[in-house]
């Protein structure tokens, strides 16, 4: 129903509103994971520049992904987020168990488990679950964020 100056009010089914809420929550989780990774860059630069650079890149990608989720997203973007965040969790587990990296001063030595890392992984796992739920219901509801 038309309003004024080109504004339009759309009536949206409750299921679609709930799915839209998942999109926004997923975007918030991705942006939060990005902030956590960016916050620990200085500490990891102190260990080795490549560790800091990796976390800086991961933070930028997760931030951009969070912004991308705010727009219309294709199912491929959802699967990319699921795979990317699971890869981040697996890499964290490997670096804590087997060693920080194959190169650098800490090669072969497991890195300490810290609350920031655990928080980032919990956020990423929650994001994976949310993206999976959106992907599963995308066909049922035409799941895209509600335009305001």
3-state secondary structure of 2: strand
* 5, part of any domain: no
Q: DSSP per residue over 75-122, as a string?
A: HHHHHHHHHHHHHHHHHHHHHHHT-S-SSSTTTTSPPPP-HHHHHHHH
Q: State the residue range of the domain holding 77.
A: 15-141
* 40, part of any domain: yes
Tens of pLDDT along the chain (148 residues)? Answer: 455 566 655 544 444 555 788 999 999 999 999 999 999 999 989 888 998 999 999 999 999 999 999 986 788 999 999 999 999 999 999 888 876 666 666 666 777 889 999 999 999 999 999 999 999 987 655 444 445 4
* 57, part of any domain: yes
* 9, part of any domain: no
Segment 101-124, tens digit of pLDDT = 666 666 667 778 899 999 999 999
Report the number of distinct structural domains present in the chain: 1
* 1, part of any domain: no
């Amino acid at each position: 129903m038309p309003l004024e100056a080109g504004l339009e009010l759309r009536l949206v089914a409750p299921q679609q509103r709930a799915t839209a809420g998942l999109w926004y929550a997923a975007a918030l989780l991705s942006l939060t994971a990005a902030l956590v990774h960016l916050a620990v860059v200085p500490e990891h630069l102190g260990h080795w520049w490549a560790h800091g650079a990796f976390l800086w890149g991961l933070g930028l990608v997760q931030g951009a992904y969070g912004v991308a989720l705010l727009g219309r997203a294709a199912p491929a973007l959802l699967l990319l987020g699921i795979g990317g965040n699971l890869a981040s969790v697996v890499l964290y587990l490997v670096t804590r168990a087997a060693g920080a990296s194959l190169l650098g001063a800490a090669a072969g030595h497991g890195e300490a488990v810290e609350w920031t890392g655990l928080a980032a992984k919990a956020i990423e796992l929650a994001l994976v679950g949310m993206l999976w739920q959106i992907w599963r219901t995308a066909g049922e509801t035409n799941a895209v964020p509600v335009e305001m």
